[in-house]
Structure 1
Amino acid sequence: MQITTTLSANPTDDARLAEILSNPGFGTHFSDHMFTVEWTPDKGWYDARITPYGPITLDPAAAVLHYAQETFEGMKAYRHQGEGEDTLWLFRPEANAERMKRSSHRLALPVLEPADFVEAVEALVKVDGRWVPANDDGGEKTLYLRPFMFASEKFLGVRPAQHVTFMVISSPAGAYFKGGIKPVTLWLAEDYTRAGRGGMGAAKTGGNYASSLVAQQEATAQGCDQVVFLDAQEGRYVEELGGMNLYFVYDDGSIVTPETGTILEGITRASIIQLAEKMGHQVTERKFGIDEWRADVASGRITEIFACGTAAVVTPVGSLKSKDGDVPAPASTDLTMRIREALVGVQLGRADDTFGWMHQVV
């Protein structure tokens, strides 16, 4: 792409940026610039540009506001430092690009080719590189990147939009767990499902997250951190949390994770499968019943349960609560934490990248 760049006339000053990066939180502060490119059937993708971060203008009849035709991705930029090194990296950006391609097909949106997707993300990271936090204290701060695509055409007819906008924004992110990593408690959603056969469950689109919110409210009311969904067809099989994939570790070292189809194929999920197999663990992707969860925790066959996602990376799972009673937390978090340490180590440059996952930007 031919990308034009207009730098902000009023970038965040060094003192304020240092204050933000010392305690960034999540999704609260945004970097000085954003990337935008537009599409029409006649022009294809055009007018790729980096401009100062700010509000965008949408017509009230913009299709995305009425028919939710949009997709997005979540990824991070990492600063590697040590022995004179100060470099910026992305984690498997081509995998995010391919997933957005699949999501775009499902939402009848135009495809932004993976090479252009990666170039767009790289361009923003290069311009706003000073927003990528350092981790001199051994922490896990990163620059969270949000590429997204939406139907921006002014039209109320129900059909694929003829004007589409793709953007990338970024936001510094602190460690997901404040005060240390601890197991999350889960609430079993029995009145709500996340996605059904032939639906949008495997696409990363806002509607999937919107459908999870009322169930998450129910979980919060029950004193739980997250909600876990069952399949829509039979209500028997575990799918995923509101925004994370699940793994079940057995006493023989094997691992089971729910098969995809109606769940999101997480980049972290796929990476953990490779890491676990390299560690000598057999990983099986299959239907996993809620009755298995209950029975195998009770018998001691399940020794650990963990969840993963871009924001939290890896988190141990504690107890499962439901209308039928509680399932206690498994006894161990040993493998969970070893996998987490291995993955975070690669991402932050503290361990060798034997899989070739990291992509240098600067």
Structure 2
Amino acid sequence: MTEQQIEIQLTAEKKQKPAFDSLEFGKNFTDHMFIMDYTKGQGWHDPRIVPYQPLTIDPASMVFHYGQTVFEGLKAYLTKEGEVLLFRPQKNMERLNRSNERLCIPQIDEELALSALKRLIQVDRDWVPNVEGTSLYIRPFIIATEPYLGVAPSKRYQFMIILSPVGAYYKEGINPVKIAVESEYVRAAIGGTGDAKTAGNYAGSLKAQELAEADGYSQVLWLDGKEHRYIEEVGSMNIFFKINGEVVTPVLNGSILQGVTRDSIIHLLKHWEIPVSEKKISIDEIYEAHKQGLLEEAFGTGTAAVISPIGELFWKDEKLSINGGKTGELSKKLYDTLTGIQLGTVEDPFGWTVKVKEENPHLVKNS
């Protein structure tokens, strides 16, 4: 199946675009979407780009009842030269298939999925925002659509991609956020689905998030599900600490999501010859490092916010101020470098960015 075999149906009535200088995250969606179906015995079939529209789906569809669904998140960026760049999109497609494996969803053709993503962006290219700090958020996802109330893998699925022009994920931007260490609820456990990007992981995190926000905190710091001692993630992001000159991040253990931004940060730090290690990190170690004045910086990493500095941790009724509540020098350098690579303003020594070619008018057509 090739790019040219993707059927394209253009919308007859384009939407009014939002003001790109006042975008919220995930509120607006482009004119078109990509859909591909899976039927057991037939495989994935009928890839198509169609006008953005509501789904017609049976109430008994298994996704509603047993949560068999996975998703991804990545971005497209508009350079000063007017080129559209993707950042390591192949890594997202690889992770989507790892999530598929865990949720018993059939593997997708990663190259076809990436081609479909590029074609969709070509069709809706004028939705890529051109204001500083904005981007086009890309959401690929798969849902189980077989109408059957039985606990078993579905025999039918839909793979879709939707696009959304976005501003900053956190209103604080690159400014530090306050984080509450979660002492009751658990995000995931080893052997569970923590290393898959599936909806249930996020639904299960909402209660703790809601309570933290009520107390004035932006997110929660998740501890492990067994001993409730070892640090795993912060909100829906991976986390890093700079302690006495060394950067440390929790080692991937089966319950931590393998973040693309996380991997990119580790590559950058090694490239700069800054000591970085992946290991089990207890909250007690962080508390002790803070007490001794060795906790220099902390920050979350993820596609949506890129880098989110942490200015305060709240644990056991004690507020731990980090770097005086200010953005650390390393956090700022990582943010500027990574966003610079994504926007094409900083040299990309790793070959991470992928250019979306200009639209070929012969390929974009009404079907």
TM-score category of the 2 structures, normalised to the smaller one: over 0.9
Change (3 A) 1:196 1:56: same
Q: Which residue of 1 aligns with 2:352?
A: 357
Quick check: 1:112 aligned with 2:108?
Answer: yes
Quote the Cα distance in structure 2 between the aligned partners of 1:325 and 1:211.
26
The amino acid of 2:246's aligned partner reads: S
Give, in angstroms, the shift of residue 308 of structure 1.
Answer: 0.9
Q: Secondary structure at the match of 1:86?
A: coil
CA contact (8 A) 2:39 2:157 kept: yes
Change (3 A) 1:179 1:227: closer
Quote the Cα distance in structure 2 between the aligned partners of 1:106 and 1:73.
14
The amino acid of 1:197's aligned partner reads: I
Q: Secondary structure at the match of 1:305?
A: strand
Change (3 A) 1:271 1:108: same
| Structure 2 alignment gaps of length 5 or more | 358-367
Quote the Cα distance in structure 2 between the aligned partners of 1:128 and 1:161.
32
Quote the Cα distance in structure 1 between the aligned partners of 2:262 and 2:171.
23
Q: Which residue of 2 aligns with 1:75?
A: 74
Q: Secondary structure at the match of 1:38?
A: strand
Give runs of aligned pairs for residues 20-169 of structure 1, distance below 5 A: 20-81=19-80, 85-135=81-131, 139-169=132-162
Quote the Cα distance in structure 2 between the aligned partners of 1:272 and 1:310.
12
Quote the Cα distance in structure 2 between the aligned partners of 1:255 and 1:21.
36
Q: Which residue of 1 aligns with 2:360?
A: none
The amino acid of 2:251's aligned partner reads: E
Q: Which residue of 2 aligns with 1:347?
A: 342
Quote the Cα distance in structure 1 between the aligned partners of 2:182 and 2:232.
11
Q: TM-score normalised to the size of structure 1?
A: 0.94
Between 1:20-29 and 1:238-247, the stretch displaced more is: 20-29
Quote the Cα distance in structure 1 between the aligned partners of 2:21 and 2:6.
32
CA contact (8 A) 2:295 2:322 kept: no
Change (3 A) 1:228 1:65: same
CA contact (8 A) 2:174 2:307 kept: no
Give, in angstroms, the shift of residue 177 of structure 1.
Answer: 4.5
Quote the Cα distance in structure 2 between the aligned partners of 1:178 and 1:290.
27
Quick check: 1:320 aligned with 2:313?
Answer: yes
Give, in angstroms, the shift of residue 325 of structure 1.
Answer: 2.0
Quote the Cα distance in structure 2 between the aligned partners of 1:180 and 1:56.
34
Change (3 A) 1:310 1:361: same
Q: Secondary structure at the match of 1:360?
A: strand
Q: TM-score normalised to the size of structure 2?
A: 0.93
The amino acid of 2:118's aligned partner reads: E
CA contact (8 A) 2:173 2:305 kept: no
CA contact (8 A) 1:219 1:225 kept: yes
Give, in angstroms, the shift of residue 86 of structure 1.
Answer: 1.7
Q: Secondary structure at the match of 1:342?
A: helix
| Structure 1 alignment gaps of length 5 or more | none
CA contact (8 A) 1:245 1:308 kept: yes
Quote the Cα distance in structure 1 between the aligned partners of 2:77 and 2:167.
12
- 2:221 corresponds to which of 223, 228, 234: 228
Quote the Cα distance in structure 1 between the aligned partners of 2:172 and 2:316.
30
Quick check: 1:308 aligned with 2:301?
Answer: yes
| Cα distance per residue 1:314-349 (max 9 Å; x no partner) | 011011113442222234601010011000000011
Q: Which residue of 2 aligns with 1:299?
A: 292
Q: Secondary structure at the match of 1:327?
A: strand
Give, in angstroms, the shift of residue 22 of structure 1.
Answer: 2.7
Q: Which residue of 2 aligns with 1:5?
A: 8
Give, in angstroms, the shift of residue 7 of structure 1.
Answer: 0.2
CA contact (8 A) 2:78 2:130 kept: yes
Quote the Cα distance in structure 2 between the aligned partners of 1:179 and 1:225.
9
Query: What is the identity percentage for the equivalent residue pairs of Structure 1 and Structure 2?
Result: 44
CA contact (8 A) 1:131 1:172 kept: yes
Q: Secondary structure at the match of 2:201?
A: helix
CA contact (8 A) 1:269 1:308 kept: yes
Structure showing greater relative contact order (alpha-carbon pairs closer than 8 Å, 6 or more residues apart) = 2
The amino acid of 2:208's aligned partner reads: A
Q: Secondary structure at the match of 2:33?
A: strand
Give, in angstroms, the shift of residue 179 of structure 1.
Answer: 6.3
The amino acid of 2:225's aligned partner reads: A
* Count of aligned positions: 351
Q: Secondary structure at the match of 2:300?
A: strand
Q: Which runs of 4+ in 1 moved over 3 A?
A: 176-180
Give runs of aligned pairs for residues 252-291 of structure 1, distance below 5 A: 253-260=245-252, 261-291=254-284
CA contact (8 A) 1:342 1:351 kept: yes
Give, in angstroms, the shift of residue 180 of structure 1.
Answer: 5.0
Quote the Cα distance in structure 2 between the aligned partners of 1:226 and 1:158.
34
The amino acid of 1:258's aligned partner reads: P
Q: Secondary structure at the match of 2:58?
A: coil
Change (3 A) 1:116 1:70: same
Give, in angstroms, the shift of residue 241 of structure 1.
Answer: 1.5
